Amino acid sequence: DQQVKQNSPSLSVQEGRISILNCDYTNSMFDYFLWYKKYPAEGPTFLISISSIKDKNEDGRFTVFLNKSAKHLSLHIVPSQPGDSAVYFCRGGDSSYKLIFGSGTRLLVRP
């Protein structure tokens, strides 16, 4: 039972435009959501998070939106830069320590 789904395996956008990465979840107990970024040949690194008591969290060019009724969150990158090209993973969090990630979305930002 996959609790977190990223249905778009890849996304290609032009530099300067907006990138929108999506994540759906099924576990109603999730009260926190995190996005990680992974470059080739490196480990994932934390990017941004959001608590379930909020519907938006912004950090510079990165904004995460949470729609609890739809069990959906999205990561917006504005403006997109070539250095943002990476694989992005989302994860839900609750009191459990069984930390499950989505399958990832590979973002390519074209110069």
Residue with smaller CB distance to other proteins, 58 or 78? 58
Measure the CA angle with vertex 49, ends 110 and 104; round to 5°.
Answer: 45
Residue with smaller CB distance to other proteins, 84 or 93? 93
Kindly compute the dihedral angle of the four CA atoms of residues 107, 54, 26, 62, in this order, to the nearest 10 degrees: 0
In the complex, minimum distance from the CB of residue 17 to other proteins, in angstroms, rounded to a whole number: 25
Residue with smaller CB distance to other proteins, 84 or 104? 104
Residue with smaller CB distance to other proteins, 74 or 100? 100
Q: Which DSSP string corresponds to 43-64?
A: --EEEEEEETT-SEEEETTEEE
In the complex, minimum distance from the CB of residue 55 to other proteins, in angstroms, rounded to a whole number: 17
Q: Can you give the binding site for other proteins, defined by CB under 8 A?
A: 6, 9, 30-32, 34, 36, 41-46, 49, 51, 89, 91-104
Contact 44/89 with Cβ under 8 angstroms?
Answer: yes
In the complex, minimum distance from the CB of residue 8 to other proteins, in angstroms, rounded to a whole number: 12
Contact 85/12 with Cβ under 8 angstroms?
Answer: no
